[in-house]
Structure 1
Amino acid sequence: MRLLNSRTFKLETFQNVTETPPYAILSHRWEEEEVTFDDLQERDYSKGFLKVANCCKAAEQFGIFYIWIDTCCINQNSSSDLSESINSMFAWYRNARLCIAYLFDVAQGLNTPQTIRPTTGRLGGFNDSQWFSRGWTLQELIAPKEVWFYDKHWKLLGIRSRLASRISKITRIAEPVLQKHQLEELQSFSVSARLSWAAGRQTTRSEDRAYSLMGLFGVNMPTIYGEGLKAAFFRLQKEIFNAFPDHSVFAWESG
């Protein structure tokens, strides 16, 4: 696992998960400019660095000096690195000391009126954030022990457990899953219920709609970009069935 040192802005590698220092983890929607793994190697901070710096600053307020951010801690050019990271991601979010959810499209305050976007380019309200419609953020919402939500200006909006009722209405995720952080709470819900939480969520790569669900069922499988959504989803269904022999999993359509 690679972590970004917030004081040196250098990546450090930890071979054993038990040796990792306390770390914060970022959940966010990718924007046009992001700091990549290659950017950090080249010490190029010309684009997207403000998000990284503000994330580090927020973590340091909790006494945490290591950060995991998918855009720069994963070598996207390495298929093996990407596959290993995707299969480990649920556990990484689970084990984080702090999970920061950055909602770049939310204006300051939980009760900011919703607006029509993207045509206006204006900021919207909490309920309207794109963060709630993305595939990967489903596990990033559920896996951590707690989630701290920040708006575009890095002002704290609230924490998941206290916003559980509101988030449940937005996402259709059962409120107890959002209030508690025991894995037993998640496992008490059926395969169908957990799959239903992903309905309507979108990913940039079609296969990620399947890969982003692995952690919710505690299954692992190789990632094969280019196989297409149907093939990826069918492989996921087989892995889920092996863990939870419930034929209803095959009733779900990948689309």
Structure 2
Amino acid sequence: MRLLHTSTLKLVNFLADDVPPYAILSHTWGTEEVTFQEFVAQPAGHKAGHEKIKSFCKLCAQRSIDWAWVDSCCINKENNVELSEAINSMFQWYQRSSLCIAYLSDLQGGMEQSISNSAWFTRGWTLQELLAPSIVEFYCHGWSKIGDKISLQKTITKATGIDASYIHAAKNIGLACVAQRMSWASRRRTTREEDAAYCLLGLFRVNMPLLYGEGGTRAFLRLQEEIMKFSADQTIFA
């Protein structure tokens, strides 16, 4: 796992048994996100993505958190093996984080009732980023804190249709039937059609190879096949 030092902005690789405590960022991608290659070449650049990473790391450092993970710069997406491993591990990485910061960049104010208007609640990948971590704190544009997923539970449940018991603890997700978990994702969208299936791997505790170009329908059929290998839940046919 590759982590970012919150003070030096240096990327460091850790073996699975040696990963230190870390914070993790949940966000919607903009037009100026920073790739792994760009960040290595210019960690203090001035693209909007650089500023987001630096602000996130500054917030973590203020909380005495030395290490952080950001999907845009911590995964070498030009390496297909690394990308596949990262996507198949993503749920666990969020679950094992000490803190998840959900940055709602499209919200200008810190009003609780406005968070459901954020695009963050419409994206496929942010579903597991809401459910997997024990602690999720929400920040609006300017990095002002709105609250956390416990204090904002009623608003989050209304926006997502997810019962409080699943929001409070990832261990409860397995108690939800397949159809229920699928319903949580039904109103969410991904940029790449295959990701509509890939972003659900952790939610169903399954793994499968990534085949970008196979199309969304084929990817979803393969996801269903993997689920059926480990579950007799008939609601998958609903």
TM-score, normalised via structure 2 length = 0.96
Give the corresponding residue for 2:169.
181
Alignment match, 1:141: 130
Evaluate the alpha carbon distance shift between residue 111 and residue 166 of structure 1 in structure 2; reply closer, same or farther with a 3 A threshold.
closer
Moved more, 44-53 or 97-106: 44-53
Amino acid at match of 2:75: I
Q: Which residue of 1 aligns with 2:36?
A: 37
Number of aligned residues: 236
Question: The residue matched to 2:53 in structure 1 has which SS?
Answer: helix
For the 8 Å contact 1:26–1:101, the answer to whether it is kept is yes
Task: Provide Cα deviations, 1:100-128, integer angstroms capped at 9, x if missing partner.
Answer: 0000001122257xxxxxxxxxxxx3120
Shift of 1:155: 0.3
The 10-residue stretch of structure 1 (210-219 or 35-44) with the greater mean CA deviation from structure 2: 35-44
Conservation of the 8 A alpha-carbon contact between 1:135 and 1:203: yes
Distance 2:140 2:27 in 1: 11
Question: Counterparts of 1:19-168 in structure 2 under 5 Å?
Answer: 19-43=18-42, 45-47=45-47, 48-111=49-112, 125-168=114-157
Distance 1:2 1:139, change over 3 A: same
Q: Provide the rounded CA distance (Å) in 1 between the counterparts of 2:232 and 2:225.
A: 9
Q: In structure 1, how many angstroms separate the alpha carbons of the residues matched to 2:230 and 2:128?
A: 18
Asked if structure 2 preserves the Cα contact closer than 8 Å seen for 1:26 and 1:99, the reply is yes
Contact 2:162 2:184 (8 Å CA) reproduced: yes
Deviations 1:17-40 (A, max 9, x none): x31111000000001111210012
Structure 1, residues 188-232: CA drift from partner, whole Å, max 9, x if none?
A: 111111110001100000000000001011100001100000110
Q: Residues 111 and 8 from structure 1, CA distance in 2 versus in 1: closer, same or farther, beyond 3 angstroms? A: closer
Q: Give the 4+ runs in structure 1 shifted more than 6 A.
A: none
CA distance in 2, matches of 1:225, 1:111: 37
- Please report the TM-score for the alignment, with normalisation by the length of structure 1: 0.89
Q: Which has the higher helix share?
A: 2
Q: Contact between 1:10 and 1:40, CA under 8 Å: does it hold in 2? A: no
Distance (Å, rounded) in 2 between the aligned partners of 1:46 and 1:158:
29
Instruction: Please tell me the residue identity of whatever aligns with 1:88.
Output: S
Q: Corresponding residue for 2:181?
A: 194
Identity of aligned residues (%): 47
Give the unaligned 5+ runs of structure 1: 113-124
User: Residue 215 of structure 1 aligns with which residue?
Assistant: 202
* 1:143 shift after superposition: 0.3
Q: Does 1:9 align with 2:9?
A: yes
| Residues 246 and 54 of structure 1: CA distance in aligned 2, closer, same or farther (over 3 Å) | same
1:59–1:98 Cα contact (<8 Å) kept: no
In the aligned structure 1, how far is the partner of 2:170 from the partner of 2:191?
30
For 1:22 and 1:86, the matched residues in 2 are separated by 20
Residue in 2 that maps onto 1:119: none
Give me the CA root mean square deviation: 1.2
